[in-house]
Amino acid sequence: MQPPEIGELSPPDRLLMGPGPSEVHPRTLRAMAAPPVGHLDPAFLDVMDETQDLLRYVLRTDNQWTIPVSGTGSAAMEAAIANLTRPDDAVLVPSNGYFGDRMAAMVRRAGGEPVRVDAPWGEPLDPDDVSDAFAEHDPDLFGFVHAETSTGVRQPDVPALTDIAHDNDALVVADVVTSLGGVEFRMDEWGVDAAYSAGQKCLSCPPGASPLSLNRRAMERVRDRESRPRSWYLDLTLLDDYWGDERAYHHTAPVSSVYALRESLRLVVEEGLETRWERHERVAGALREGLAAMGLDPVAEPDWWLPSLNTARLPDTAHVDPDDVIERLLAEHGIEIAGGLGDLAGEVLRIGCMGYGATPDNVTALVAALGDTLLALGVDVDADAGPAAVRASLRDS
């Protein structure tokens, strides 16, 4: 058998402005390239403590039980859902986006029964509907998506939802994958019992180690389960042996991914969490203006606009396939964005404005390139109006 002839890795130069992964800071890349140490080396135990402290800061929580899960956001998601869902539990999940469906699928695998609270794709949950769903289904757990990446919708007024759940003795699990480190989220103050996230969205870390935090009540529910969760790898009581006081082997931590997450979190602390929230709002606000000036109207209303993920409709008159726009933007300009999912498939563009990539230069370049691309595809668009609107918005804010 001939050995395969494969050259040294040389990824193309891209500007990542899609739904993730996002642009990575050079310091985080350097941290990833540092030599690994053993996962039980005293030096790594310090790195673990530091990473946990940094995660608590970014999540705005005092929860002792705060860890990076080995794997991408879906691993942290499944760790939360699989441990908090007991067999035959009713779990309330939203139907207004792609990731609510993923929650439901995980609930089913955990032996629970997903029940729904509905809202159209492109809108947040209405607290009255959540109340009605509680009255109808009496769920044990309520999962919601704070930042729905498939629609660009932010769930406003989180405490209104957590109050309803707690009045009904249910626990709350929040998907903060596309908000953490980019959009205001306050775990303790807002009454969220469990939250999970990922590295490669607003934290600007390569995918690999994913934040997860549970408060005391949530952890009690996990410890008091009569049967262990079906996943051995994600069983939180076993992971506690490693991430808790004992620091005993469970599985080998992805050392380089933890290095990277630690450095990404350090960058958030250096900037300041609130300053970072403001930057995302300012820069994504300019992006939104730039898109609108070229006739690409935002899907999300201002009241539930999600700065880190902007969904815009192509003009009705454009008669252009979003996939052609996306392909051309990548091929001609090296810029990655994405198209719609589910109910919005074929109708919208999804543009991320996340972490290290959320800068005035990047959104200006993106809007200019998008204008050129639409012109090249024969769309009647005022391509100069986009960048001008971006600049004007940045000047005013």
Rank residues 213 and 373 by Cβ distance to ligand PLP and give the closer one.
213
Element (H, E) at 385: helix 385-396
Stretch that binds ligand PLP, among 73-81, 114-122, 156-164, 311-319 (CB under 6 A): 73-81
Separation between Cα atoms, residue 248 and residue 95, nearest integer Å = 40
Stretch that binds ligand PLP, among 70-78, 156-164, 366-374, 381-389 (CB under 6 A): 70-78
Rank residues 198 and 383 by Cβ distance to ligand PLP and give the closer one.
198
Of 11, 13, 15, 10, the closest CA to residue 336 belongs to 15
Element (H, E) at 336: strand 335-336
Element (H, E) at 352: strand 348-352
- 99: contact with ligand PLP by CB under 6 A: yes
CA distance to 136, 205, 258, 325, per residue, from 254 (Å) = 43, 14, 6, 37
Neighbours of 192 (CB within 10 A): 30
Report the largest interatomic distance among the alpha carbons of the chain, rounded to a whole angstrom. Answer: 67
- 22: contact with ligand PLP by CB under 6 A: no
- 178: contact with ligand PLP by CB under 6 A: yes
- 234: contact with ligand PLP by CB under 6 A: no
Shortest spacing between CB 295 and ligand PLP, in angstroms:
27
| Cα-trace Rg, the chain | 21
The DSSP bridge pattern shows strands 90-94 and 141-145 to be: parallel
Stretch that binds ligand PLP, among 49-57, 125-133, 171-179, 221-229 (CB under 6 A): 171-179
- 179: contact with ligand PLP by CB under 6 A: no
3-state secondary structure of 94: strand
Q: Site for ligand PLP (CB under 6 A): which residue of 27, 50, 74, 126?
A: 74
Site for ligand PLP in 133-152 (CB under 6 A): 145, 149
Shortest spacing between CB 158 and ligand PLP, in angstroms:
15
Report the Cα 233 to chain-centroid distance in Å: 22
Shortest spacing between CB 218 and ligand PLP, in angstroms:
18
Site for ligand PLP in 277-336 (CB under 6 A): none
3-state secondary structure of 195: strand
Q: Site for ligand PLP (CB under 6 A): which residue of 66, 72, 215, 257?
A: 72
Residues that bind ligand PLP (CB under 6 A): 20, 72-74, 77, 99, 145, 149, 175, 177-178, 198, 207
